[in-house]
Amino acid sequence: MNDYLSKLNPPQHQAVTHPNGPLMIIAGAGSGKTRVLTYRIAWLIDQGVDPFNILSLTFTNKAAEEMRHRIEAIIGTEGRNLYMGTFHSVFAKILRVEGKLLGYNSNFSIYDSDDSKSLIRSIIKELALDDKVYRPNFVLNRISNAKNSLIGWEAYNENAIFHEEDLAARMPEIGRIYKMYQLRAFHANAMDFDDLLFNTNILFRDHLQVLNKYQHKFKHVLVDEFQDTNVSQYLITRKLAAVHQNICVVGDDAQSIYAFRGANIQNILNFQRDYPELSIVKLEQNYRSTKNIVNAANSLISKNKDQLEKKVFTDNDEGKKIEVLKAATDNEEGRMVSNIIFEEKMNGELRNSDFAILYRTNAQSRAFEEALRKLNIKYRIIGGLSFYQRKEIKDLLAYLRFVVNQQDSEAFKRIINLPKRGIGDTTVAKILVLAEENNLPVWEVVAHIKQYMDGRAASSIDTFANLIKSYHILIEQGKDAHSVASEVAKTTGILRELYADKTIEGMARYENLQELLNSIKQFVDNEENDDKSLASFLQNVALLTNADQEDEDGDHDRVTLMTIHGSKGLEFKQVFVVGLEENLFPSQMMLQSRADLEEERRLFYVAITRAEQNLTLSYAESRYHYGRLNYCEPSRFLLEIDEAYLKMPSQAAPPPVRKSFSDDLEVIQSFSTKKEQVLNNLKPVSTAVKQTVTHTPSTDFKAAEPKDLSPGCRVEHQKFGFGTLNKMDATGNTVKATVLFDTVGEKTLLLSFAKLRLVE
């Protein structure tokens, strides 16, 4: 039964078999924390703890599902009885049951950021405020930060400090917007993501019988990625663990990178203060990366002052040194990285999916996309427009949301004239005003529209209302999510309208809707889903994170392009961390305090530790920003890595030892004088790989058959230009050609990929 324990190293074994009481597992990068957390849950069940009494909180649904399946592999189907999921999904589930105590129906909608911004725009317009001053994104972030700090609209409006800050920002009405936003969402029976946590705290604060119920239900509380928790999340977990004190948190302070989302690193740094009897186990052996990568990461993160002491090590191979590339421009940086990927694929027989390009901001992806396309290398961008954010998908989902929750005014506004039924914005505005003036939900006005208005618009609205009523009957009859969704898609005319659009875009949108219906069918057919209702499916979709999205076309063999923030928890054989320039990384906005700078350093640490075998760092000497060409200085972070782990010319000066924060902030000035002696020498060691290739293929370029090529002949490559073929090797169906090119040196090419023209 306990065979799985034999797979653990001593610290992992200690963490898994820890008896009752508070436990903090400090898990260095690549140290097997998911295995430890999984095995600990399995071990607790082996010890007689009922799975129904275990709460395990994660940050992505994908992580929760992976852990659940691992646990099932050890203990069987009992693993399905765990209360396991993301903070938002678990507490949404609790609020479905207990939300009536706060005035919500169990079928409340969950607003995504688009819904929230739409509501805020409506309020800004209604208050006749300038939306260029009151930018919806900014206002929403301000409200979000308040909620994550458990500051409701009442407390916000009574706080003089917040009022002064808003005055200084020339937005004195934010408090008023916050109040209207919360009340409108409440009347719409809707919560946004932050409300799921905020309202859980309110529920436990004001209804002690509910808190007591869940405190006794959850005898063990486990939290993954604890360094990413905010104030709201930590308070909930502390309250739930208060009776039994069996709280186990797993995290790495060196990977705390989400302060902008409200994550509070002090939660992990000060955890022992809250639990004096705390046991601490450190997982310091890295199983992912080479010695050079691990040691380089250690040398970097050692510059942070606020951290928990640990020394990550590995027994893996030494590995290659970390290469540093210097490009003249950001476009050249894109070409250099893409060329390396092209060659590594051929020479190392690697797949596209073995590579990742990580950057500080999404805007940096352009140069790499262009370069990869020119080499016909497939790639995927993580963090772009996801499947569930596409217009046609959101349209049908809005219909489904309104069928479940007729108080959802944001869904109503989206679908009332979709497909077009002759109901203009003026009529919609009139309905919303009528609902507001009569203190009624929008649906009450819509369902009895002929009591409030007449004419063609009223007739169209009445037809719409009858449609919604017919769908609601299906729900009352107990029809599953797919049955209801299929009926909605067919009878509203959405599918028919897209099917009639024979443009490429129209057909793609039609196929996307069919794919949505397929996903709903899969949800219904999944035996693990006990609740197959439309409401359950909508909650499942609303709580998806970017990390839970899969490749839509099923082609997983692609180079991954993503921000470093999005990469946490992932690993790749070869990683390129690009754009290592001052004011880009570290970001100019993160140089105002030590805490900000240390978070940027942790972000770079996360980037480094995504690499298993090879790591490449790059920067450009010039880059366009807001339409202007800026000259760039290399990032201070390059100098903070011990040069013993970097591949650079031996004459490069050692990294300076900085003793104070002021030294850190002044490093950009020192670069001006040190650039020639230090970083000007950070040139590609292998110019054959790194230098930019500008060859234009001959107009009559035609690839020769391998049988027509022989050593000594002159050849032309589309990218590398002209050269002399020195050697050919054939193994099975694989033919390799070694060519000495005139400009880029010797290269070995697979002729199934590389095409050579025989020069007469």
Catalytic annotation, residues: 33-34, 224-225, 255, 610
What is the DSSP track for 521-570? HHHHH-TT-S--SHHHHHHHHHT--GGG---TTS---SEEEEEHHHHTT-
325, 726 in Cβ contact below 8 A? no
Q: What are phi and psi of 97, to 5 degrees?
A: -85, -45
Per-residue tokens: 470: 């017919």
What one-letter code names the amino acid at 689?
V
CB 371 within 8 A of CB 337: yes
CA-to-CA separations, 343 to 362, 375, 660, in angstroms, rounded? 25, 11, 43
Amino acid at 381: I
Q: How many CB atoms lie within 10 A of CB 554?
A: 6
684 preceded by a cis bond (ω within 30 of 0): no
Amino acid found at 755: K
DSSP letter, residue 320: P
Residues in the chain: 760
Q: How many CA atoms lie within 13 A of 544 on its CB side?
A: 16
Residue 266: in which H helix or E strand, if any? helix 266-269
317: number of Cβ within 10 Å = 11
Q: In this structure, what are the phi and psi dihedrals at residue 698, rounded to the nearest 5 degrees?
A: -60, 150
Strands 247-251 and 611-620: unpaired
Q: Which amino acid, residue 616?
A: T
Distance CA 468, CA 660 (A): 65
Distance CA 399, CA 475 (A): 14
At residue 377, the 3 state secondary structure works out as: coil
Q: What's the token pair of residue 53?
A: 């009494």
Report whether 397 contacts 110 (CB < 8 A): no
Tokens 């004459």 correspond to 651
Distance separating alpha carbons of residues 465 and 480, to the nearest angstrom: 21
Distance CA(572)–CA(559), nearest Å, equals 10
The C-alpha atoms of residue 321 and residue 615 are separated, in whole angstroms, by 8
Measured distance CA(415)–CA(126) in Å, rounded: 21
Exposed e or buried b per residue across 64-76, where buried means at least 16 C-beta atoms within 10 angstroms of its C-beta: beebbebbbebbe
Instruction: Kindly provide the b/e burial profile for residues 684-699, where b requires at least 16 CB atoms within 10 angstroms of the residue's own CB.
Output: beeebbbbeeebeeee
Residue 735: strand pairing partners: 730
* Sign of the C-alpha dihedral computed for residues 342, 347, 352 and 355 taken in this order: negative
CB 123 within 8 A of CB 182: no
What's the CA gap between 645 and 323, in Å, rounded?
9
Task: Find the angle CA(615)-CA(611)-CA(581) to the nearest 5 degrees.
Answer: 50
Number of CB atoms found within 10 A of residue 574's CB: 21
Question: Is the separation of the CB atoms in 423 and 455 below 8 Å?
Answer: no
Largest CA distance in the chain: 91
8-state DSSP, 3? G
654: helix, strand or coil:
coil
467 — phi, psi (to 5°)?
-60, -50
Using alpha carbons only, what angle is made at residue 197 by residues 195 and 203, rounded to the nearest 5 degrees? 90
